[in-house]
Amino acid sequence: MADLSVNVCGIDFKNPIIPASGVFGYGHEYEEIFPLEKLGGIATKGTTLHRRTGNISPRIAETPSGMLNSVGLQNPGIDHFVEKELPYLLQKNVVILANIAGSTAEECAEVAQKLENTDVHMIELNISCPNVKHGGAAFGTRCDLAAEVTKQVRKATSKPLVVKLSPNVTDITEIARAVESEGADAVSLINTLLGMRININTGRPILHNNVGGLSGGAVFPIAVRMVWQVANAVNIPVIGMGGVSSGKDAIELMMAGASAVQVGAAIFTDPYAPVKIIDEMNDFLDSKNISSVREIIGAVKPW
Ligand SMILES: Cc1cc2nc3c(=O)[nH]c(=O)nc-3n(C[C@H](O)[C@H](O)[C@H](O)COP(=O)(O)O)c2cc1C
């Protein structure tokens, strides 16, 4: 048995595998499928200051090797999360990353502040949502906005702060450096890539929102590339995700520089995916006589 434990921002994970935000809700549905204790961590559904109903359906579309979603940030609001969801999750002996979002930097900071007196382990700040104060430009697509929201959330929390980056940019390393300079303790990436499908019989986009976020196997090489670029650009840990569906994928993302790995869309095709991935990582490491998964973080040997 290889040692699968990792440490990110001073927080110990028993293994590096974390269901990604938005595919695992607050864990209840999966508790019936496998014990949540098997996981390294759980990234909870993106939570905002007030309850949101999300976008109008249809909000899911199939794509070759992946899916498009435009769920939007459907969630019950941070007070509900703190009172009703977090106590349950904190019993599970897994690291809880509370994924938060907001329409302004102030709203994000207020959400983070509401977690300050809880025992949640980490905050994952999703900066892919549009900033209403700046005409809807997503925080994560401009260095100045990414820096500003990180600065305000940093002031509001003493918890380890992971900033989740958008891949819908020309140079993700600039955004990573901007959030690092304002006090992010780690970055996670990638969020979904903007895509679109059209029903050619009706001429209408398949998603009611017209466009949505692409995730799943199709985005995996992009995630590997961006994790590698960001890991080489910043001095804080990187949590990788995007299209991971096997233990070998997770190992590859860690070789690119990820200290831990989130699993998103793969859970929809196989709800056991996170547990299988943990077992497959162990098998791979054993087959190579590697005693600790930490040895492979950033181990890629570029040409
Ligand atoms: C249905 C769905 C909902 C999502 N909701 C969120 C969310 O609330 N917050 C967030 O930061 N990312 C959200 N994501 C993005 C995922 O956490 C992840 O970054 C992305 O899907 C890439 O990983 P994957 O290819 O393994 O799915 C969502 C993804 C999907 C498929």
Work out the pLDDT band at 129, boundaries 50, 70, 90.
Answer: confident
In a domain, 126, yes or no: yes
Domain range for 262 is 6-296
Look at residues 16, 12, 8, 11 and name the one whose alpha carbon lies nearest to residue 293.
Answer: 16
Question: Where do the H-state alpha helices sit in 60-168?
Answer: 78-80, 86-90, 105-115, 143-156
pLDDT for 67-92, tens place per residue?
A: 999 999 999 999 999 999 999 999 99
Q: What is the residue-wise DSSP string for 37-70?
A: GGSSEEEPPPB-SS-B--PPSP-EEEETTEEEE-
In a domain, 286, yes or no: yes
Query: Does position 124 have pLDDT exceeding 80, yes or no?
Result: yes
Q: Is the dihedral of CA 261, 262, 268, 271 positive or negative?
A: positive
In a domain, 262, yes or no: yes
In a domain, 1, yes or no: no
In a domain, 301, yes or no: no
pLDDT for 37-63, tens place per residue?
A: 999 999 999 999 999 999 999 999 999
Run of H or E including 20: none
Burial per residue of 118-151, b for 16 or more beta-carbon CB atoms within 10 angstroms, e otherwise: bebbbbbbbbbbebeeeeeebbbbbbebbbbbbb
Looking from the CA of residue 67, the nearest atom of ligand 1 is 31
In a domain, 28, yes or no: yes
pLDDT of residue 96: 98
In a domain, 303, yes or no: no
CATH code assigned at 175:
3.20.20.70
pLDDT of residue 215: 97
Other CB atoms within 10 A of residue 277 CB = 25
Query: Distance between CA atoms of 75 and 58, rounded to whole angstroms?
Result: 17
Domain count, the chain: 1
pTM: 0.98
- The encoded tokens of residue 210 equal 């017209």
Ligand 1 centroid to Cα of residue 191, in Å, is 6
pLDDT for 169-225, tens place per residue?
A: 999 999 999 999 999 999 999 999 999 999 999 999 999 999 999 999 999 999 999
Using CB distances shorter than 6 Å, the residues near ligand 1 are 20-23, 45-46, 69, 71, 73, 99, 126, 164, 191-192, 215-216, 219, 241-244, 263-266
* Annotated catalytic residue 108: no
In a domain, 93, yes or no: yes
Ligand 1 centroid to Cα of residue 27, in Å, is 15
Query: Distance between CA atoms of 179 and 101, rounded to whole angstroms?
Result: 15
Mutate to test the pocket of ligand 1, among 165, 187, 191 (most ligand atoms within 8 A of CB): 191
Looking from the CA of residue 217, the nearest atom of ligand 1 is 25
Which one of the listed residues 9, 108, 129, 143 is annotated catalytic?
129
